[in-house]
Amino acid sequence: MSQQPAGRNRPQQVIEALYAANEGLPAAQRQARFARMAASPERFFRIASTLYWQDAWHDWRVALFGGWPETRTWLHGDAQVGAFAAVCHPHEPLHYGLAGVDSALIGDYQLDLWRLATSLVLDGRENAGLSAKAIDKALEALVAGYMGMLAAHRDGKTEAPRVSEPLKGFLNRMADRQRPRRALEKWTEQPDGQKRRFLVRPGKLVNLPADVASQLKRLIDNDYQQTLQAPPGKGRDGLFAVKDSARRLSAAGIEHYFVLLEGGPDGEHDDVILEVKEQVPPAAFALLTKADQQGWRKLFPNEGLRHAAAFHALGAHSDAYLGWLTLNDRVFAVRRLPEHRKALATRKLGAKAYRKLARQWGQRLAWQHLQGAGALNRGDARGFSEAVCRRLEGHEASFTQGVTRFAQEYATCVEQDYALFLAHFMAEAA
């Protein structure tokens, strides 16, 4: 490979970044991951997030409308159209927003907004089939929704975003289909006269080796419970009795397990599925200075703590099972598996409906940023909304144009990077 500096050679930068992000994977997992990335530029952008953070983290344009300590918040870290989903949790109302906090980190608000806007352009081009003009209007609606939510908060309005069409109809349909024990029905079985156990689902869920299952059970019985803030149903016998465990197959190259716990007084029908998922540093961590990395590690000695802090900051519901554990020198977040999760498909939306949905995406991103800022500032997010609004005041049109231009141009860059990926990696695999 050429020794020319990668910063002057985009193909080399792309190839080296993808090699570095995937070199530790077993060959079969690496090929499965590459096959997913090869599906489309939008899918490539979603999975190859390292490239985005390398490009955006030190972008000077952050300073135009942010770049101050007061404009930092908890970022979702993977803000993109496909991450918005309706999520059903036991005993909780249906929630729609950016799901998951595996990639969450603290940074300037624009880094999430730029990523989401870029994803919108790719989704509009590939899935929704929108014209360039319709995509422009959707981007304007996205930014308007974001700015409007922050301005309302600055002015003392602290209500969560309202739901309107097309999101309203989608959530109503989801609510109608909501039912308890949906996760148990999907992932487990209960043969006659036997205890409930995990199903074997080829390509998705397989049995664990006996030694790993034994280690995991021991950790759930002991170390994990010490990380819980308030154990659910404290005092009930057999609360954390492990009935079964399985490996959730993933092309992401991380370890991912399910653990089935004994339920409460309702017996087999009240069992709980825990999701035990390996946590690695967010892609931007490698871009921090050594001093900043040391500061990060003082805040979060391990990635399980980071995940828990981000969940408390950004999560729309509580989870009494939230904790972490360490297995074979890898850190895992532990949480209760949601009953159901589903994204709103955009391929059948017209331009007007897409624009309305984009505005709501912007509002919900802003709402999560307000929650994140509150978590960093003892519950007070007002300083964040005021700081961002001060930076934007009188320059709202320039800000909108800047986000729109970044998203359009970076989406085109993603498409070029995708072509490089196909030419190099997929040809190499063939």
Q: Does this model's pTM top 0.85?
A: yes
Q: Compare 254 and 148 and report the one with higher pLDDT.
A: 148
Q: What is the mean pLDDT of residues 236-246?
A: 79
Q: What is the mean pLDDT of residues 93-108?
A: 95
Q: What is the mean pLDDT of residues 223-252?
A: 79
The helix (run of H) or strand (run of E) holding residue 62 is: helix 62-65
User: Would you state the pLDDT for residue 148?
Assistant: 98
> Each residue of 257-291: pLDDT tens digit?
999 998 765 555 589 999 999 999 999 999 999 99
* E strand residue ranges, 76-209: 84-88, 95-98, 105-108, 188-189, 197-198, 205-207
72 Cβ contact partners less than 8 Å away, ≥ 6 residues apart: 106, 107, 108, 109, 373, 376
Distance of alpha carbon 169 from the chain centroid: 24
pLDDT band at 6; cut points 50, 70, 90? very low
CB atoms within 10 A of CB 157: 9
pLDDT band at 251; cut points 50, 70, 90? low
pLDDT band at 23; cut points 50, 70, 90? confident
User: Would you state the pLDDT for residue 176?
Assistant: 84
User: Would you state the pLDDT for residue 16?
Assistant: 93
Say what percent of the chain tops pLDDT 90: 82
Q: Where are the domains of the chain?
A: 6-177+349-429, 187-338
User: Would you state the pLDDT for residue 322?
Assistant: 96
Is the per-residue pLDDT at 39 higher than 50? yes
Q: What is the mean pLDDT of residues 175-195?
A: 88
Q: How far apart (Å, rounded) are the C-alpha atoms in residues 31 and 24? A: 12
> Each residue of 304-316: pLDDT tens digit?
999 999 999 998 8
User: Would you state the pLDDT for residue 231?
Assistant: 67
DSSP 277: E
Q: Which of 220, 241, 229 is nearest to 334 (CA)?
A: 220
> Each residue of 321-357: pLDDT tens digit?
999 999 999 999 999 999 999 999 999 999 999 999 9
- Report the half-sphere exposure of 350 (CA within 13 A, side-chain side): 3
pLDDT band at 428; cut points 50, 70, 90? low
The CA angle 404-353-118, to the nearest 5 degrees, is: 25
Torsion over CA: 373, 378, 379, 382 (sign): negative
User: Would you state the pLDDT for residue 270?
Assistant: 82
- Pick left, alpha or beta for residue 149 (phi over 0 → left; psi -120 to 50 → alpha; otherwise beta): alpha
Q: What is the mean pLDDT of residues 42-50?
A: 96
The CA angle 275-279-281, to the nearest 5 degrees, is: 160
Q: Mean pLDDT, the chain, as a whole number?
A: 92
User: Would you state the pLDDT for residue 264?
Assistant: 64
